[in-house]
């Protein structure tokens, strides 16, 4: 039932190799930097810059469909007009404190800052 062209080993390698490289690139090149009043997000070949002044609120989330985060334990950042992104920095509490230092108007959940497991 499988078409003959799908049984060719070289064809599988041609299609699967780039996908594997991209996944490895995302795994090892995911990071978040706060610099020059911007949150710089990099996940593999993709980059996103968010002005910290545009961030409205931050909350905890475990939504598996929001990326770029390698963990299920994430923080969701709402910015601009109805834009959302979830990230998973290693030290979430410190990360949020750094954002709040640069922009104190950002709203956070009450239990977010006080939680010991960040």
Over residues 41-69, the pLDDT tens digits come to 998 888 999 999 999 999 998 887 766 67
Residue 3 has pLDDT above 50, yes or no: yes
Residue 116 has pLDDT above 70, yes or no: no
| Element containing residue 107 per DSSP (H, E) | strand 107-108
Residue 115 has pLDDT above 60, yes or no: no
Rounded Cα gap, residues 37 and 71, in angstroms? 25
Q: For all residues of the chain together, what is the average pLDDT?
A: 84
Percentages (nearest 5) of helix, strand, coil residues in the chain? 35, 30, 30
Burial class of residue 52 (count of CB atoms within 10 Å of its CB; 0-12, 13-18, 19+): buried
Query: What values do phi and psi take at 81, rounded to 5?
Result: -110, 105
Q: Kindly state the DSSP code that residue 2 receives in the 8-state scheme.
A: -
User: pTM for the full model?
Assistant: 0.74
Q: Kindly state the DSSP code that residue 82 receives in the 8-state scheme.
A: T
């Amino acid at each position: 039932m499988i078409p003959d062209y799908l049984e060719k080993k070289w064809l599988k390698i041609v299609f699967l190799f780039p996908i594997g490289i991209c996944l490895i690139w995302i795994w090892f090149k995911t990071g978040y930097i706060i610099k020059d009043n911007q949150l710089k997000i990099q996940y593999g070949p993709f980059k996103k810059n968010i002005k910290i002044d545009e961030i409205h609120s931050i909350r905890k989330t475990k939504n598996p469909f929001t990326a770029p985060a390698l963990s299920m334990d994430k923080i969701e950042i709402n910015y601009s007009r109805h834009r959302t992104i979830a990230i998973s920095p290693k030290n979430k509490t410190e990360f949020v404190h750094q954002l709040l230092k640069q922009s104190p108007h950002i709203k956070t959940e009450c239990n977010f800052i006080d939680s010991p497991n960040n």
